[in-house]
A and B are shown apart, each in its own frame.
Chain A
Amino acid sequence: MQKVKSFLKSWEFFLILLLVAMCVVFKITDASRIAAGLQKKPIFYFANVVRSMRPYFLYSFMTLGMMLILAMGDIDISVGAIGTLSVVTLGVTYNRLAGSAEGGSPMALVAALAACLLVGALCGALNGFLVTRFKELFPMIITLATQLFFRGFSYLIIGGDTLTFKDPTFKSLSNLNQLLKFGDLQVPISIPIYLVLAVVFYFWLHRTGNGRKIFAIGTNASATYYSGVRVDKIKFWCFVIAGFMSAVTGIFFVGNSSSSVKADIMDGYHMYAIAAAVLGGFSTDGGKGSVIGATISLVIFGVVKFGLGTLFGFPDSAVNLSVGVILILSVLGPNLVEDIQNRRKVAQRRAETARLNAAKA
């Protein structure tokens, strides 16, 4: 009973309610549009929504990395730039290794992918090193500087050019965006991969001591340090993982962008990652949030974008607007509820003391 009660009060439950409410609204709109003769077939049904999730799950891996960092109470705004730099590395390395080989060479692609992931992890390591060594500075400022640095580095490597790859080996990366068939259901490949990773992250973050330490750091870093946790080491590795995850996102991104690489390919993507993680219950104060919440919030963003975009025919801008509104309300709402609760408590206390005083007199 206690468990059910605490679940009903949890943030994840609220997110599920939000998701259900949205689905109902979209479903009704869908039905009414059919009734009005605006469209012939229903658009908003499960299989179609799942199939259309592909572009919205691109940055899900980045969100996983961002989760770790937000749980520690830090923030990393360089993840988009890290993704760009690792993708640029991927392109340049492949170009150098494959040369003019006919049809491209698979070995070169493997080496380039390895280099890409390595660069992502190294960029994360630089962030982690700076954050742990220069504690006087906010992680936000450090990652702002490294963001400019990484972005500049990718511009330094390929300038304003666009690298386009025509050979079939490199094109095989776009297989990452194909749809898997489970019976009637067509699922983008990124979703099962994300789910596997999310399960791993869930057990690590919520079920092992090592993962709980990350939340402990976010709640009170110095207390955690004095209870014998190597805070710096954990922080460092979390930043490395975040960098690695952005490189993974980058690989999916190349597959999506018709195998071309530009130096501003993933600019601004950190914002999507932060938005999804914050709606999922993580906070820049640290110590809060869960993998389940983040996963639901990714789905919510996907459904909102799909529903508003294809059902209502709103342009991208309206979709962005709704993302902004959801984000603000998701943080503002709990704060307001807390305020009201506090005020009620104070009023109760006051009434009680007044009664007691009256009884004394």
Chain B
Amino acid sequence: MQDKKERKPIYSILIEHREIPLLAVLALLLILVSIRVPGYLAKSWLNVLKNGSINMVMCCGMLCVLLIGSIDISITAILAFAGAVAGKLMGLGVIQNTFLMFLLGIAIGAAIGAINGVLMSYGRVISLIVTLSTSYIVRAFIPMDWLLGMNKVNPTQLTQGFKDSLINHSFLGLPFLVWLAILVVVVTGVFLKYTRTGRNLYAVGSNAEAAQMRGVPINRIRVLAHTICGATAGLAGIMWLAFYAAIEKGSALGDEMFTIAACVLGGVAVTGGYGKISGVVIGALMIAFIDSAIPQMGIGNSMITEFIKGILLLVAILLNVILQRIAEKQDLARRNI
């Protein structure tokens, strides 16, 4: 009896670290793919990282927004808009500096994110409606005559230095694209875990009224979270432009669902107040991994990845709830209730 009390039940460990089951599923998938396609991992790990890094950057912003119990579905619209503006400016020869491009993207994204935040917090409009509207509005600007018109940003409009900046420069064997994603992840992680403002995001998300009583400026925190999310989306736009060397009005249309999916897979609670950067990283890796691995396995038609992603997300969120329920039951049983 004494022995039992000291040991933590396995369920509670699983609940505390929601990323453990996810890691297990990821490992299982890896093993399956490796059996089917020998040498898969050695060949494509770099591709997985490269293709996943843009989504990873957006996931970090999305995490901040989900933590305060809000949501942002305008991120891919911001991505396309920031990329289009920056690409157009580079095509016109206004900006030639690669570094400035990134700054511009972040600034554009942050501005739109801040508008989202102000409307959502001070205007008390539900974030889903706000970001739905801004995604309409922002995406509508791209095909305007003063921006891209019916065209798209072509590789010829971009400087060679900019195109090379993320892909062809590498450090320790990883291209700068991946390093940029790692940088954003680390900064977000440190910000959320070790700074007062970062902890305030959790406070606002778990109980806004209590946070206000404690003196947290909840509206300012909400605006901040949306600004961060917009900034990461803007950064992702420039990364997209540098990676694919092209952007058009329909770029990344509908991909915001996969960003949210990666966060949810990583155990972020959409009610706000719960979520870790480590889970989000695993979730984003998982999405990138499925995108790359499933087509190589040669089962069904090429579109089966969509199906598997859908099933996986459904199973993951349901499993989370079921585990939680079992844990609660076990808790009650141990207390003889």
- Expressed in whole angstroms, the Cα–Cα distance for A141 and B271 within the complex equals 10
Residues of B within 8 A of A285 (CB): 126
Residues of A within 8 A of B304 (CB): 152, 155-156
Q: Within the complex, what minimum Cβ distance (angstroms) separates A52 from chain B?
A: 21
Residues of B within 8 A of A316 (CB): 143
Whether, in the assembled complex, B128 has its beta carbon less than 8 Å from a beta carbon of chain A, the answer is yes
| Known contacts A323-B136, A328-B119, A335-B124: A278-B129 contact under CB 8 Å | yes
Whether, in the assembled complex, A142 has its beta carbon less than 8 Å from a beta carbon of chain B, the answer is yes
| Known contacts A137-B317, A145-B314, A327-B129: A152-B136 contact under CB 8 Å | no
Whether, in the assembled complex, A149 has its beta carbon less than 8 Å from a beta carbon of chain B, the answer is yes
Residues of B within 8 A of A140 (CB): 71, 128, 270
Q: B140 contacts A324, CB within 8 Å? A: yes
Q: A159 contacts B257, CB within 8 Å? A: no
Of residues 262 through 298 on chain A, the ones whose CB sits less than 8 Å from some CB of chain B are 263, 267-268, 271, 274-275, 278, 283-285
Whether, in the assembled complex, A312 has its beta carbon less than 8 Å from a beta carbon of chain B, the answer is no
Q: B119 contacts A332, CB within 8 Å? A: yes
| Known contacts A148-B257, A152-B309: A320-B139 contact under CB 8 Å | yes
Q: B303 contacts A160, CB within 8 Å? A: yes
Q: A138 contacts B271, CB within 8 Å? A: yes
Q: B317 contacts A141, CB within 8 Å? A: yes
Q: Within the complex, what minimum Cβ distance (angstroms) separates B138 from chain A?
A: 8
Q: A151 contacts B321, CB within 8 Å? A: no
- Expressed in whole angstroms, the Cα–Cα distance for A160 and B124 within the complex equals 42
Highest count of chain A CB atoms <10 Å: which of B123, B140, B261, B311:
B140
Whether, in the assembled complex, B302 has its beta carbon less than 8 Å from a beta carbon of chain A, the answer is yes
Closest to B303 in A: A155
Partner of A328, one of B125, B249, B305, B309: B125
Tell me whether chain A's interface is mostly helix, strand or loop, or mixed: helix
Q: A320 contacts B136, CB within 8 Å? A: yes
Q: How many residue pairs bridge A and B at CB < 8 Å? A: 144
Q: B302 contacts A317, CB within 8 Å? A: no
Closest to A81 in B: B310
Residues of A within 8 A of B311 (CB): 149, 152
Q: What total of chain A residues lie within 8 Å of the partner, measured CB to CB? A: 49
Q: B261 contacts A268, CB within 8 Å? A: no
Partner of B270, one of A130, A141, A271, A327: A141
Q: B140 contacts A317, CB within 8 Å? A: yes
Partner of A75, one of B128, B133, B271, B321: B128
Q: A335 contacts B123, CB within 8 Å? A: yes
Whether, in the assembled complex, A336 has its beta carbon less than 8 Å from a beta carbon of chain B, the answer is yes
| Known contacts A141-B264, A155-B304, A160-B302: A275-B132 contact under CB 8 Å | yes
Whether, in the assembled complex, B324 has its beta carbon less than 8 Å from a beta carbon of chain A, the answer is yes
Whether, in the assembled complex, B318 has its beta carbon less than 8 Å from a beta carbon of chain A, the answer is yes
Q: A328 contacts B133, CB within 8 Å? A: yes
Q: B128 contacts A332, CB within 8 Å? A: no
| Known contacts A155-B306, A267-B254, A324-B140: A145-B313 contact under CB 8 Å | yes
Q: B125 contacts A331, CB within 8 Å? A: yes
Q: A332 contacts B132, CB within 8 Å? A: no
Q: Within the complex, what minimum Cβ distance (angstroms) separates B201 from chain A?
A: 19
Q: How big is the B interface, by class?
A: 35 or more
Q: B301 contacts A331, CB within 8 Å? A: no
Q: Within the complex, what minimum Cβ distance (angstroms) separates B61 from chain A?
A: 18
| Known contacts A75-B128, A315-B143: A325-B137 contact under CB 8 Å | yes
Residues of A within 8 A of B314 (CB): 145-146, 148-149
Q: A284 contacts B133, CB within 8 Å? A: no
- Expressed in whole angstroms, the Cα–Cα distance for A130 and B132 within the complex equals 25
Whether, in the assembled complex, A252 has its beta carbon less than 8 Å from a beta carbon of chain B, the answer is no
- Expressed in whole angstroms, the Cα–Cα distance for A321 and B324 within the complex equals 43
Q: B257 contacts A317, CB within 8 Å? A: no
- Expressed in whole angstroms, the Cα–Cα distance for A149 and B310 within the complex equals 4
| Known contacts A331-B125, A332-B119: A318-B310 contact under CB 8 Å | no
Q: B310 contacts A152, CB within 8 Å? A: yes
Partner of A144, one of B126, B260, B306: B260
Q: A324 contacts B136, CB within 8 Å? A: yes
Highest count of chain B CB atoms <10 Å: which of A147, A153, A156, A325:
A156
Whether, in the assembled complex, B300 has its beta carbon less than 8 Å from a beta carbon of chain A, the answer is yes
- Expressed in whole angstroms, the Cα–Cα distance for A153 and B119 within the complex equals 37
Query: What does the 1/0 interface line of A238-276 toward B look like (CB < 8 Å)?
Result: 000000000000000000000000010001100100110
Whether, in the assembled complex, A102 has its beta carbon less than 8 Å from a beta carbon of chain B, the answer is no
Whether, in the assembled complex, A14 has its beta carbon less than 8 Å from a beta carbon of chain B, the answer is no
- Expressed in whole angstroms, the Cα–Cα distance for A249 and B296 within the complex equals 36
Whether, in the assembled complex, A150 has its beta carbon less than 8 Å from a beta carbon of chain B, the answer is yes
* CB-based closest 4 A-B pairs: A152-B307, A324-B136, A149-B310, A155-B303
Interfacial residues, chain A to chain B (CB-CB below 8 A): 75, 130, 134, 136-138, 140-142, 144-153, 155-156, 159-160, 263, 267-268, 271, 274-275, 278, 283-285, 315-321, 323-325, 327-328, 331-332, 335-336
Given contacts A159-B302, A268-B254, 10 further A-B contacts (CB under 8 A): A144-B264, A146-B314, A149-B314, A159-B303, A284-B126, A285-B126, A315-B144, A317-B140, A324-B135, A328-B130
